[in-house]
């Protein structure tokens, strides 16, 4: 029987609902799925059969029943394929291989010592290749690659500007697609981090949050009503270039006194000079010094905490979010930043925001940006799979 275009659309929508439900609440029986979705059992059974044939779900032994014959349970096949997520930082490259639920199977880490685009691409390619080579065999293999990049990324996956890497107009998505012949998603790393925190991390409970990626530069990922807000061209969240002092030093973006000149990892490292600490400072060294109660390191971190707080106040006043998550490299210094960030916010935010807002730091064990882009690839794969 020929089915009409309209029926095709309804079928696709229902199939998406069935798969979503199984992904999020397995094990579940056909009958429970039908009841939860308000669809008839025949419809659910036929969609389930298709999903089983496509190896996206499978049947397992009987579940619990209140009596009578025990129903067969349906499970999501999280090992039907594997996804790759790469966090391409200014001074590191970190990649994960995940199953289709975002569980990390393998991770790889390498330094990115301020490489040219060509050299960085070679490093990224070799890291991705290692992850691909280590993936267990599966029906769909590697379903896609997601990359979070520290810069302005357009909808075509070009990095238009990554000031801290000195890159302009590089076609990262196209170059990776060419190298691996797989679907590739390139996203701004703060957007990726926001999504990773919302889906897997400290942002799980909130639908309105702003993730502040505080690394060599500063960017923000904005989640509004549970969805990533990217702006009309995808350029939202460039808060690192929000000026907090018009008379301040010149920034690489052309503006003066940008927030990231005061509150980023780079600014913390530059402060080391004025505090008379040795050259070749790194965040790790500063943290070690702070841990051993070095007064200069403690003062530098205090000042950075205050500066972080000052920028966050503007963001809170503009967006009225439920939660602010401070993530990326500076989250490692939470112990020394947290008090000053919160004090500054309490002191200067409009009073009605103060009792409502949750100020959190990323959990370092969760690589939010890499998991966020990996999740984008998985969603893309599932969407495309259900189109067929």
| Cα–Cα distance for residue pair 207/261, rounded to 1 Å | 30
29 vs 266 by CB, closer to Zn ion: 266
Look at residues 256, 288, 282, 249 and name the one whose alpha carbon lies nearest to residue 268. 282
Q: Least distance from C-beta 367 to Zn ion, angstroms?
A: 27
Q: Least distance from C-beta 233 to Zn ion, angstroms?
A: 18
Q: Using the 8-state DSSP alphabet, how is residue 4 labeled?
A: P
Give the pairing type, strands 209-214 and 323-327: parallel
The one segment of 216-224, 252-260, 308-316, 364-372 that binds Zn ion by CB under 5 A: 252-260
| Cα–Cα distance for residue pair 376/136, rounded to 1 Å | 21
Q: Of the candidates 173, 198, 199, 241, which one interacts with Zn ion according to CB under 5 A?
A: 241
241 vs 329 by CB, closer to Zn ion: 241
Q: Per the structure block, which two tokens stand in for 284?
A: 């790790």
239 interacts with Zn ion by CB under 5 A: no
Interaxial angle between packed helices 334-348 and 283-291, expressed in degrees from 0 to 180 and rounded to the nearest 10: 90
256 interacts with Zn ion by CB under 5 A: no
Q: Of the candidates 33, 251, 286, 345, which one interacts with Zn ion according to CB under 5 A?
A: 251
The one segment of 193-201, 218-226, 244-252, 341-349 that binds Zn ion by CB under 5 A: 244-252
Instruction: Judge contact between 113 and 91, C-beta under 8 A.
Output: yes
Q: Does an H or E element contain 384, and which?
A: helix 368-387
44 vs 251 by CB, closer to Zn ion: 251
255 interacts with Zn ion by CB under 5 A: yes
Give residue for tokens 């990554």: 162
Q: Taking the mean position of all CA atoms in its chain, how far away is CA 357?
A: 21
148 vs 219 by CB, closer to Zn ion: 219
Number of residues that bind Zn ion (CB under 5 A): 5
63 vs 248 by CB, closer to Zn ion: 248
Interface positions with Zn ion (CB under 5 A): 241, 251, 253, 255, 258
């Amino acid at each position: 029987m020929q089915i009409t275009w309209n029926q095709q659309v309804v079928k696709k929508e229902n199939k998406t609902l069935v798969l979503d439900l199984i992904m999020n609440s397995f094990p579940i029986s056909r009958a429970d799925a039908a009841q939860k979705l308000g669809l008839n059992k025949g419809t659910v059974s036929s969609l389930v059969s298709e999903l089983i044939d496509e190896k996206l779900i499978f049947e397992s032994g009987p579940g619990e029943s209140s009596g009578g014959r025990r129903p067969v349970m349906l499970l999501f096949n999280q090992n039907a394929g594997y996804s790759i997520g790469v966090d391409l930082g200014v001074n590191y490259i970190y990649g994960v291989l995940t199953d289709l639920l975002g569980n990390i199977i393998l991770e790889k880490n390498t330094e990115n010592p301020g490489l040219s685009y060509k050299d960085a691409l070679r490093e990224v390619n070799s890291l991705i290749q290692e992850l691909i080579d280590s993936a267990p065999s599966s029906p769909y293999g590697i379903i896609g690659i997601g990359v979070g990049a520290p810069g302005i990324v357009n909808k075509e996956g070009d990095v238009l500007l990554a000031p801290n890497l000195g890159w302009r107009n590089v076609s990262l998505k196209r170059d990776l697609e060419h190298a691996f012949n797989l679907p590739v998603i390139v996203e701004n790393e703060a957007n990726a981090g926001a999504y990773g925190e919302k889906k897997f991390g400290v942002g799980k409970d909130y639908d309105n949050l702003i993730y502040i990626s505080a690394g060599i530069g500063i960017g923000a990922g904005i989640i509004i009503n549970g969805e990533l807000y990217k702006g009309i061209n995808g350029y939202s969240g460039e808060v690192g270039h929000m000026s907090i002092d018009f008379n301040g030093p010149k920034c690489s973006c052309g503006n003066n006194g940008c927030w990231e000149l005061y509150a980023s990892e780079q600014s913390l490292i530059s402060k080391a000079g004025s505090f008379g600490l040795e050259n070749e400072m790194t965040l790790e060294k500063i943290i070690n010094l702070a841990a051993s109660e070095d007064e200069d390191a403690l003062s530098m971190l205090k000042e950075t905490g205050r500066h972080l707080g000052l920028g966050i106040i503007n963001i809170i006043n503009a967006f009225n979010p439920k939660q602010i998550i401070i993530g990326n490299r500076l989250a490692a210094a939470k112990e020394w930043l947290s008090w000053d960030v919160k004090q500054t916010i309490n002191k200067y935010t409009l009073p009605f925001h103060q009792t409502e807002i949750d100020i959190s730091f990323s959990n370092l064990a969760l690589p939010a940006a890499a998991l966020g882009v990996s999740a984008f690839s998985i969603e893309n794969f599932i969407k495309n799979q259900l189109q067929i």
